[in-house]
Amino acid sequence: MTTTRFAPSPTGYIHVGNLRTALMNFLIARKAGGTFILRIDDTDPERSKEAYVDAIKQDLEWLGLTWDRVERQSERFDRYAEAADKLREIGRFYEAFETPTELDLKRKKQLNMGKPPVYDRAALSLSDADKDALRAERGNGVWRFKLDQERIEWTDGILGDISIDAASVSDPVLIRGDGQVLYTIASVVDDTDMGVTHVVRGSDHVTNTATQIQIMAALGHGHPEFAHHSLLTGPQGEALSKRLGTLALRDLREAGVKPMALLSLMARLGSSDPVELRTDMAELIEGFDITRFGSAPTKFDAEDLYPLTARYLQTLPLAAVTTELDAIGVPADQQDTFWAVAKENITTLKDLEGWWILCRDGAEPLIADEDKDFIAEAMALLPEGPYDSESWGKWTAEVKEKTGRKGKGLFMPLRKAVTGMERGPDMSALLSLMQVVRARG
């Protein structure tokens, strides 16, 4: 069975970059009728917060990215310890004691010599007595996985054939000196134990993938199918990482972005397919194809979400927005007409209130100097409300007959005087909703 996972760290709110990974894994699992696991990467007790776990679930639920089960890495330390013991038994795990300063000096020396800044495995030559002395002086060391220094190859679902020389990569640290288990080994153990068949993640993980393939093999396992999507940039190609704090999913939700607008964009962004609004998850699942995505950095502009949100809102029936209409005070008997008028002229549901205030309280007239006499004459012909769907037509016909104005010279000044705007909804429907026309004086 196809099994995928999304493994966020509960150290902050998830943002659009995280969403890209979550969505791709979700769509692969759902299209294949498989399993989608939400795996909470909470091995760091200092930074992991339960409030962020709850927030991650809320954001995924808002988007409709339902999971089949939740796993927590903090409940699996015994399994990580077993894997570490096995690596020690087969001679693939060793303790190293260099300080960060010492490692930095080694890297600088290697670079000056024109060599890749790879850990020199000095710790492998330490005797037991050396290790005891270093532990007494510095505390426990880190545990590094000893890579086989050969080429690591796999066919990536997005990048194609990948080949990485393990000799150009440092033996990865899997357990810190304080005992904290790091992502590299925890993810390996989880993916193999949970039967994960496909892993989609950012291209910044390619080297991690190479080392994890070797770790999996050392533990006696094959590896999932890997695909590494491109990283998002800002609209001008700038690093998005500096702006991610403003692109948290909860911030986009608060700004009025609708789930299907966000999902429609993220399910196609960076692929060879055009972005098209989808109005339900089934369409999104059916149309997803990981092989259509490219490796080039992908530009993301949050402003693109708002036209998609506007188009999505236009598809909604009245029943989907009655709560919002009730909240701003639209009478039940006017909601159908009001929604028909407003939905074509809003970007988010937050814009509804402005249109209702216009209908309820009227607008400050917008009258050009050359139209003052014309508007005064026209307003004298406008009866007091209430108005209906025929009021605009009857009024403008009478004004045309009395003043001789027609076309744009007739309708534009009247629209501006009534609504305070140069453009907007059909005036027949809008006037029927207006309780006050301030230009009447």
CATH of the domain at 138: 3.90.800.10
Task: Say what the pLDDT of residue 247 is.
Answer: 86
Domain co-membership, 328 together with 243: no
Domain co-membership, 302 together with 329: no
Please write the tens of the pLDDT for every residue from 157-193: 999 999 999 999 999 999 999 999 999 999 999 999 9
Domain co-membership, 93 together with 171: yes
Domain co-membership, 89 together with 158: yes
Confidence of residue 239 (pLDDT cuts 50, 70, 90): confident
Among candidate residues 358, 434, 431, the one with its CA nearest the CA of residue 396: 431
DSSP-derived 3-state class of residue 6:
strand
For residue 294, pLDDT over 70 is answered with: yes
Domain co-membership, 251 together with 163: no
As a whole number of angstroms, the distance between CA 441 and CA 438 comes to 6
Task: Say what the pLDDT of residue 385 is.
Answer: 87
The answer to whether residue 199 sits within a structural domain is no
pTM over 0.85: yes
Domain co-membership, 27 together with 98: no
The answer to whether residue 213 sits within a structural domain is no
As a whole number of angstroms, the distance between CA 75 and CA 238 comes to 39
User: Half-sphere exposure (CA, 13 Å, Cβ side) for 415?
Assistant: 16
Query: Which of 175, 199, 217 is the endpoint of a domain?
Result: 175
Confidence of residue 320 (pLDDT cuts 50, 70, 90): very high
For residue 86, pLDDT over 80 is answered with: yes
Task: Say what the pLDDT of residue 243 is.
Answer: 58
CATH of the domain at 307: 3.40.50.620
How high does pLDDT run on average in the chain?
95
106 annotated binding-site participant: no
The answer to whether residue 398 sits within a structural domain is yes
Please write the tens of the pLDDT for every residue from 361-387: 999 999 999 999 999 999 999 998 899
As a whole number of angstroms, the distance between CA 400 and CA 347 comes to 34
Among candidate residues 89, 11, 13, the one with its CA nearest the CA of residue 44: 11
Q: Which residues pair with 145 in a beta bridge?
A: 93
Please write the tens of the pLDDT for every residue from 104-159: 999 999 999 998 899 999 999 999 999 999 999 999 999 999 999 999 999 999 99
* Torsion over CA: 196, 198, 203, 208 (sign): positive
Domain housing 133: 79-175
Tell me the percentage of the chain whose pLDDT exceeds 90.
Answer: 95
The single-letter code of the amino acid at 122 is: A
Task: Name every residue whose Cβ is closer than 8 Å to that of residue 258 and which is 6 or more positions away in sequence.
Answer: 308, 309, 312, 313, 348
The answer to whether residue 123 sits within a structural domain is yes
Domain co-membership, 98 together with 165: yes
Query: Which of 360, 388, 421 is the endpoint of a domain?
Result: 360
For residue 273, pLDDT over 70 is answered with: yes
Q: Which residues pair with 96 in a beta bridge?
A: 142
The answer to whether residue 397 sits within a structural domain is yes
Q: Which residues pair with 142 in a beta bridge?
A: 96
Question: What's the Cα-to-Cα distance from 218 to each of 73, 167, 253, 259, rounded to whole Å?
Answer: 21, 17, 44, 42
Query: Which of 315, 341, 370 is the endpoint of a domain?
Result: 315
Examine residue 365 and say whether the peptide bond preceding it is cis (omega within 30 degrees of 0): no
As a whole number of angstroms, the distance between CA 378 and CA 372 comes to 10
The answer to whether residue 138 sits within a structural domain is yes
Task: Say what the pLDDT of residue 245 is.
Answer: 59
Domain co-membership, 327 together with 276: no
Neighbours of 282 (CB within 10 A): 10
For residue 242, pLDDT over 60 is answered with: no
User: Half-sphere exposure (CA, 13 Å, Cβ side) for 271?
Assistant: 20
Task: Say what the pLDDT of residue 101 is.
Answer: 96
For residue 60, pLDDT over 70 is answered with: yes
Domain co-membership, 383 together with 345: no
**Which conformational region is residue 22 in: left (phi greater than 0), alpha (psi within -120 to 50 degrees), or beta?**
alpha
Domain co-membership, 84 together with 169: yes
Domain co-membership, 257 together with 243: yes
Mean pLDDT (whole number) for 5-23: 95
Return the beta strands (E) in 30-159 as ranges: 35-40, 69-72, 93-96, 142-145, 151-156
Q: Which two tokens stand for residue 201?
A: 């993640």
Tell me the percentage of the chain whose pLDDT exceeds 70.
Answer: 98
The answer to whether residue 11 sits within a structural domain is yes
The answer to whether residue 48 sits within a structural domain is yes
Contact 110, 116 (CB under 8 A): yes
Domain co-membership, 157 together with 86: yes
- Strand order across the beta sheet in which 142-145 lies: 93-96, 142-145, 173-175
Mean pLDDT (whole number) for 16-30: 97
CATH of the domain at 428: 1.10.10
Instruction: Give the number of domains in the chain.
Output: 4
For residue 241, pLDDT over 80 is answered with: no
CA 284 from centre of chain = 15
Q: Which residues pair with 143 in a beta bridge?
A: 95, 175
Helices then strands (H, E): number in the chain? 18, 12
| Kind and range of the H or E run holding 161 | strand 160-165
